[in-house]
Amino acid sequence: MPDEAADISSEKAIDGRMCEIIPERFRIEPFIMVIFGGSGDLSRRKLLPALFHIYLEKNLPEDFSILGFASTPRPDEEYREIIKGAILEFSPALFKEEEWERFSRRLFYMQGGFEDKESYRRLSKRIEELAGASANAKREAIYYMAVPPHYLPDIIQNLSACNLCKGSFNTRLIAEKPFGRDRESAVKLNRIIAAAFDEEQVYRIDHYLGKETVQNIIFFRFANSIFEPLWNRSYIDHVQITVAENMGIENRALFYEKTGVVRDIVQNHILQLLALVAMEPPVGFDPDFIRNEKVKVFKSIRAMDGEHVGKYSVSGQYGPGKINGKDVPGYRMEKGISPASDVATFIALKLYIDNWRWADVPFYIRTGKRMKERITEISIHFRQPPLSLFGTACEDREPNVLVLGIQPHEGISLGFGVKRPGGGSQLYPVEMNFSYMKNLKYESHPPYERLLIDCMKGDMTLFARQDGIEAMWGVVDPIIKEWENSPQPGLPNYEAGTWGPEGSDKLIEKDGRKWRLK
């Protein structure tokens, strides 16, 4: 890899030249947040640490209350201790005793059953109490569903029955993926939600959209005029999206056996990345302008039948191997996994977007657990020049590749060819690099913070809309169906700590291309 980086850093880029592109239209009003599953894993690991950090950064209004709702009886004080322990365990660097004392006074707990109607009558009273009786009583209530998805219908119907969805409070619902198991169940769930809430009250979280580098895709594409004219089938040969993880399924055997890689990563995170790369310029920065364009992309992805699934997708499951020099077990040997499981932990896929911009441009997608490293990137591979005047590039690399590094390398690089200095005539690939860390002194924030703030403000730009969710299921349903109806032979078929099964290389190599990361 050449290391000649053209450094485009500038202190001024951070200070003097920063501009507020979007005037702030939203602000956070005093609120009550009810977290269903308030003492569960997601709440302890992510939500409460994120809320505490938002508080430390002085982004919360003076008046707010957070109410954990879960099934175990316990007083507020005990709940506060649990959350303090969680912050100390999962985000120790954040902890500041004095601020914690003040923050924790806004933290409350209520025991209740998700399916128990009586609990919601008590909840209604508790919300009124927390809102206060004064003229500036809090009138915003946010319900966070940090619970397994099968509880959603009950919770929503019970909230609605107690007039807690559209009553005297301005309410919002935050829901976590998965939104259904396929298109049909997603439609059903959306109907239940729509019977209780208006679409403008529903915030469906895809944490990828809270990542700074993912949000930047829109800025990069539509704030610079030099790329957009080239951003189409005339100049782009193909696009690659890799979401590689080196961790396994951790302690989520039950979840993963029911989910698999397509539902876990492709239906949501990868299709969101693809939409941001492929969408048409929105006519403005309004949430719905952007979400409309994304839905158009999902609807233009070529539908697959069984034959296409066989031809354009490769499934994989990891066997034992080594990660960072340490032996790790195969998927079937993980605790809680069936020794005969056919669940896929890897997929490589070729998609086409049948519209004028992208006709015949393949999008190669790859994601898996226990791969060689943890890396997510999108690479745009431009066409070769029409005539080769200078012989082949050394290392046989394509000269013009634009890489959008999502994680852990957060940045953008553009490769181009130069003359290798010296007597001969040799083309040499170099890169221009932009790094968030180096150039903007930025270190990534957990995406939950941004998403929570946006929801509190009422900005829906980074949240998925009902029709988008259903259209995304429409893309992946045929793959899931095909794989479940005729389980893939030969699993496990890749060693932990590698870039996936051989078939994944073959998928792209038979088109005369290769994966950028290998």
Annotate each residue in 365-394 with x if it binds ligand BG6 (CB under 6 A) or - if it does not, as one string: -----------x------------------
> What is the nearest approach in angstroms of ligand BG6 to the Cβ of residue 406?
8
| Cβ nearer to ligand BG6, comparing 178 with 287 | 178
Which residue has the CB atom at the shortest distance from ligand BG6?
264
Q: Phi/psi of residue 73, each to 5°?
A: -70, 130
Contact 401, 383 (CB under 8 A): no
The catalytic residues are: 269
C-alpha 200/C-alpha 495 separation (Å) is: 45
Distances, alpha carbon 472 to alpha carbons 80, 309, 377, 466, in Å: 39, 16, 20, 10
Q: Phi/psi of residue 194, each to 5°?
A: -65, -25
| Cβ nearer to ligand BG6, comparing 258 with 518 | 258
How many chain residues touch ligand BG6 (CB under 6 A)? 3
| Closest C-alpha among 55, 52, 457, 504 to residue 316 | 504
264 binds ligand BG6 per the rule CB under 6 A: yes
Question: For residue 67, what is the enclosing H or E element?
Answer: strand 64-70
Hunting for tokens 């270190």 — which residue is that? Answer: 443
Hunting for tokens 């030969």 — which residue is that? Answer: 490
| Cβ nearer to ligand BG6, comparing 68 with 368 | 368
Annotate each residue in 328-367 with x if it binds ligand BG6 (CB under 6 A) or - if it does not, as one string: ----------------------------------------
Hunting for tokens 């409070």 — which residue is that? Answer: 169
Name all contacts of 131-134 with Cβ < 8 Å and 24+ positions apart: 131/32, 131/169, 132/63
| Cβ nearer to ligand BG6, comparing 46 with 291 | 46
> What is the nearest approach in angstroms of ligand BG6 to the Cβ of residue 376?
6
Q: Binding to ligand BG6 (CB under 6 A): which residues in 392-431?
A: none
> What is the nearest approach in angstroms of ligand BG6 to the Cβ of residue 245?
5
| Cβ nearer to ligand BG6, comparing 315 with 376 | 376
Q: Which of 68, 144, 158, 245 is the binder for ligand BG6 (CB under 6 A)? A: 245
C-alpha 159/C-alpha 153 separation (Å) is: 10
SS3 call for 234: coil
> What is the nearest approach in angstroms of ligand BG6 to the Cβ of residue 279?
21
| Cβ nearer to ligand BG6, comparing 259 with 300 | 259
Greatest Cα pair distance in the chain: 85
Token duo for residue 272: 């969101």
Would you give the DSSP letter of residue 385? P
Secondary structure tally for the chain: helices H, strands E = 17, 19
Q: Which residues bind ligand BG6 (CB under 6 A)?
A: 245, 264, 376
